[in-house]
Structure 1
């Protein structure tokens, strides 16, 4: 079982509230989403593992059980071409839960006309494989947001 932690402080709102059909329809996997506090922050690794994908707006950490956890920093933020995001690690790096991976400011993303909501997704997880999914509650960075069985 993998404990997945919130990469950010904010409000867990659930994937169905994400303003993007790919995420709200759980097409890439189940999970939840964080509506982050609007201040400069660091997105933290949600699990211990290896960075298998690293972009300014999104990253995937593969844990020791082969579970890939995607964190997407805002919606349509790929269109910002990395502006406002500072990578703190690289693809292939081994990271620990709670380690800062990207520095960014959700308020700047919102000012650029993009949603700062951050989906946190269990990639290709089977239906029903997640438990204790956080929705409709305040979370601190590092708080548990779901279990992956």
Structure 2
């Protein structure tokens, strides 16, 4: 079974190796890609990349557990946990059942830029083997809801 993982926000797609955090760059959490958020739209609404249950929800990150035991992590920025929720607004709640494209959290990437942290957003299939996600859109701009990559569960 193949699961289409949608872009949870608009931006430019990067390889995880380009993320300024060794945990993501070395794919310790799993394989995936990262998005450098668009800055021309102000506050961005981050949406569920797959349908499923919000297993974990923090202002800076969330995990959705979908079909075939596929968990997808969206991490909004690098080291943004240190902001203790400042600059983020939760829209959904932990435990919610969501459809792909449902809003989960909003934030302002320009605010993150002022903190000295990176606003790049890794999108990772949890516990997947390194280099098992291939995205045809690396280097390209995507819109919220575009297919970011397909995952064979």
TM-score relative to the length of structure 1:
0.96
Q: Do 2:32 and 2:134's aligned partners in 1 also have CA atoms closer than 8 Å? A: no
5+ residue gaps, structure 2: none
Tell me how far apart the structure 2 counterparts of residues 79 and 5 of structure 1 sit (CA, whole Å).
27
SS in structure 1 opposite 2:17? helix
Match of 2:50 in 1: 47
Match of 2:21 in 1: 20
Q: Distance in 2 between matches of 1:58 and 1:128?
A: 22
Q: Distance in 1 between matches of 2:24 and 2:37?
A: 17
Shift of 1:134: 3.0
Whether 1:62 aligns to 2:100 is no
Contact 1:49 1:61 in 2 (8 A): yes
Cα distance, 1:130 vs structure 2: 2.9
CA distance, structure 1, for counterparts of residue 123 and residue 89 of structure 2: 19
> Is residue 73 from structure 1 mapped to residue 76 from structure 2 by the alignment?
yes
Secondary structure of 2:124's counterpart equals strand
Shift of 1:110: 0.8
What is the RMSD computed on CA atoms of the aligned residues? Answer: 1.1
CA drift of 1:126 comes to: 2.9
SS of structure 2 residue aligned to 1:142? coil
Structure 1, unaligned runs of 5 or more: none
Q: Is the CA contact 1:32–1:134 (under 8 Å) kept in the aligned structure 2?
A: no
Displaced runs of 4+ in structure 1, greater than 4 A? Answer: none
Q: Is the 8 A contact 1:32 1:133 kept in 2?
A: no
CA distance in 2, matches of 1:113, 1:128: 29
Is 1:102–2:102 an aligned residue pair? no
The answer to whether the 8 A contact 1:9-1:37 is kept is yes
**TM-score computed with the length of structure 2 as normaliser:** 0.93
